[in-house]
Structure 1
Amino acid sequence: MPGIGIGVGLPVLHETDARGSADIVALARHAEEVGIDSVAAADVLIGDGTFALEPVTVLATAAAVTERIRLEFGVLSLPTRPVAMVAAQVQSLQHLSGNRVRLGVGIGGFPGSSFWQAVGARSKARGRLVDEALRVLPGLIAGEPTELPAPPGQRERPVVTLAPAAPVPPILIGGGVAEAVLRRTAAYGDGWLPSAMTPSEVSSAVVRLRELAAERGRPTPGVYLGVHAVLGGGAGTRSAREAMVRQLGDFFGMPPEKIAQVTVTGGPDQIAERIAAFAAAGVTELGFALDGPDQLHQLDLLAEARALLE
C-alpha cells in the first residue's frame, strides 16, 4: 500500500503505565528499529494531579535516542504557551534532532482547568489566538525578524529574531470536522490532524478540505489521523479492548458499532485491512495510540501488518 505512513503515540499519561507500556526511550528506539515513520506526544497538562508528561521534553528525549524517525507534536496546545517560546522550542528541537519535527497545533482541550488558569491561558477566542500564532510561527522559526502583538497593558509591539534559524517543520492543524478547523487547515496547514473518524467521514472531509485549499491556491493538506488501537490477542488484550470501548464511549458518546469503525484491533491481517481502508479514504499517515499491554509487541504487529501491504 504505497503512500500511507504509520506513527505511534508515546506514553505521556500515567494510565499507560498501568497497561504495561514500555517507557519512552524503549518505545521510540523500537519504533525506529521496526520502520515506524513517526512518534508523537500529546499535550494534556490539566493541573488536577493527573500524571501527564510535558510534550517538548518527551520529544527531546525521543530525539536523543533516535536518528531517523519523525517527532510529532500531536497536538501542542497553543493557548497555554507564548508563541515566541513555542517557536524557540521548535527551532531548538529542529536543530538538535536534524530537522525531524512535525508541529501539530490546536486550540487545546482543557480550557478553564487549573493549569490553564495558572499560566494565564485564554479560554475564549482560542481560535483567533491560534490563527494569530500561525501567522507568525513560520517566520520566528525561520529566524526572521518578526513583529509580535503587544503584551497586555503595553503598546509597544516587540520585534523578535530567534537563532539558530531552522527549517519550518510541517504544520498540522489539530481538530475535527468543524468548518473553522478545516478553514484553518486550508489556510495555514500542511496537514490536518483529526482523530476517531471512520473512513467514510475522512473521505467526506477530504473533499471539503480540497475545496477550501483550492480557493486559497494551496495544495490539499495531508490527513494525519489518530486512531486508538489494542493489537494482538490474549486475556490482557481483551480487557484492554473493553476498557478502550468504554473510554471512547464515555468521551465521545459513541455507540459500540461506531467505535469498531474508528479503532483498530486484532492481528496483522486485521490491522492491514484497517490500514488499507483508511488509506483508500485519503489518510496520509495513521497515528496509533496503543492502548493494550506490551507496546513493543504491538509495534512488531504493526510492522508485520505493513509488510502485508507492500
Structure 2
Amino acid sequence: MTIAIGTGLPSGSAPGTPSVPDAARLIEEFGFESLWVPDLVIGDGTPALDAALTLASAAAVTERVRIGFGVLVVPLRPAPWLAVLVATLQHLSGDRLLLGVGSGGFPGAPFWQALGVPGRERGRITDATLGLLPRLLSGEPVRLPDGGPPLTLAPAAPMPPVLVGGSEHAFRRVLEFGDGWFPSLLAPADLGPAVARLRERAAEQGVASPTVTVGGHLIMGDDAGARAAHDALVRNLVEVHRMTPEVAARTAMVARTPAELAEIFLAYGDAGADRVVTGADNGSWRDQLEFIAEARELAR
C-alpha cells in the first residue's frame, strides 16, 4: 500500500518563508498529496491567519493537491456559516477539500472568550453541527433546531471527507459523523493498537472502517539544531499536552536522512495509517519540503 503524504502550508509570517500562494504552488510542484492549515487563532499575540481564507488562497493557485483543515474548530462557527464556508471551498478548489474537524483544544484562550463560545458546550455543538452539515450542503431546505423558516443554501456542494481529530475519546464521533480519524502526536507503535481498537468498534457497529490520517512533528538531521529542536518539542509535549517524558520522546519523527524518514512512513502504513501529515521543527521551509518529498519517493 502506498501511503499518502501531506504537509503544512506556512502562513508566510516567518523570515524566509514564501507567501501562501507561492508555498501552495511549491507543495503541488513537489508532488504532495495534500496541504494543511490549522484553525488555530489563540488571541494572545501568536501569529495566525484565518484558516479558510488561507485555504482559499491555496485553492486558487493549484489544480491537483488536496487542501485540508488540520483541524477546523467546529464550535467557533454557527452551522449555517460553516456550511457556506465549506461549500465555497469546495467550489473554489474543484471539490478538493479534506474537512479535518475538532471540538477545540484551547477553550480558555482569549479568542474563544472574545467570541463568547461556551467551552463546556463545545462537544455538543460539534456533534450538532456535524449532524446538520450534509443536509445544509445538499441545497435542500433545512429546518434548524432553534426554529425559524427553512434554510436553503445554494449552490449545493458535495460533502467533503470528514476527518475527526482527537484521541481515542473521539471514536464515537468518528464512527457517527466521520469518514476518517485524524490523530496526532502518536508514534507508529502507539497508533497500531489504537487503529485496531477503532476497527473493532466499527465492526461491532456494522459500519465501514474509517480511514486514518496521522499528523506529527519531524526533526531533520542530527546536528545541534536538530537536537535542540527535539528537546524543545519534548518539553512542550510534557508541559502543554501532559505527556510523560518517555511518550513525548518517541512522538517526533526523528530522521537523520530521508531514507530514515521513509522507514517511519512505512511503519505508519504498517500501523494502519492511510496518510501522514508532517512538517519539520527545524531547518528552512524549502529544506523541509525537499527532505519530506525525497522520503515520500523512497517509501513508494
Amino acid in the other structure paired with 2:270: A
Verify: 1:194 aligned to 2:190, yes or no: no
Task: Return 30-39 or 44-53, whichever deviates more.
Answer: 44-53
* Equivalent in the alignment of 1:262: 251
Judge conservation of contact 1:12–1:42 (CA < 8 Å) in 2.
no
Pick aligned residue for 1:134 from 130, 135, 146: 130
- Which residue of 2 is the match for residue 225 of structure 1? 214
State how 1:82-161 maps to structure 2 within 5 Å: 82-150=78-146, 156-161=147-152
SS at match of 1:104: strand
Structure 1: gaps spanning 5 or more residues: 151-155
Q: Distance in 1 between matches of 2:249 and 2:262?
A: 15
Q: CA RMSD in A?
A: 1.9
* Aligned equivalents of 1:127, 1:305: Cα separation in 2: 37
Displacement of 1:167 in angstroms is 1.0
Distance 1:24 1:244 in 2: 25
SS in 1 for 2:118: coil
Letter in 2 for 1:168: M
> 1:102-144, CA deviations, whole angstroms, 9 ceiling, x for partnerless residues?
1111111111322212222121132121111111101112222
Give the alignment of 1:204-223 within 5 angstroms: 204-223=193-212
Indicate if the aligned counterparts of 1:174 and 1:192 stay in contact, CA closer than 8 A: yes
Distance 1:229 1:164, change over 3 A: same
Are 1:272 and 2:268 an aligned pair? no
Q: CA distance change for structure 1 residues 56 and 245 in 2, over 3 Å: closer, same or farther?
A: same
1:165 and 2:156 correspond: yes
Shift of 1:238: 4.0
Which residue of the partner structure matches residue 232 of structure 2? 243
Aligned length: 299
TM-score (norm 1): 0.90
Q: CA deviation at 1:194?
A: 0.9
Given the alignment of the two structures, is residue 65 of structure 1 paired with residue 66 of structure 2, yes or no? no
Q: Give the share of equivalent positions with the same residue, in percent.
A: 46
Distance 1:269 1:106, change over 3 A: same
Secondary structure of the corresponding residue to residue 119 of structure 2: coil
Contact 2:188 2:268 (8 Å CA) reproduced: yes
TM-score between the two structures when normalised by the length of structure 2: 0.93
How many angstroms does 1:100 deviate by? 0.5
Per mean C-alpha deviation after superposition, the further-off stretch among 202-211 and 278-287 is 202-211
- The 8 Å contact of residues 206 and 282 in structure 1, kept in 2 or not, is answered as yes
Q: Which residues of 2 match residues 297-308 of structure 1 at below 5 A?
A: 297-308=287-298
Please say which of residues 67-76 and 208-217 is displaced more in the overlay: 208-217
Aligned counterparts of 1:91 and 1:65: Cα–Cα separation in 2: 18
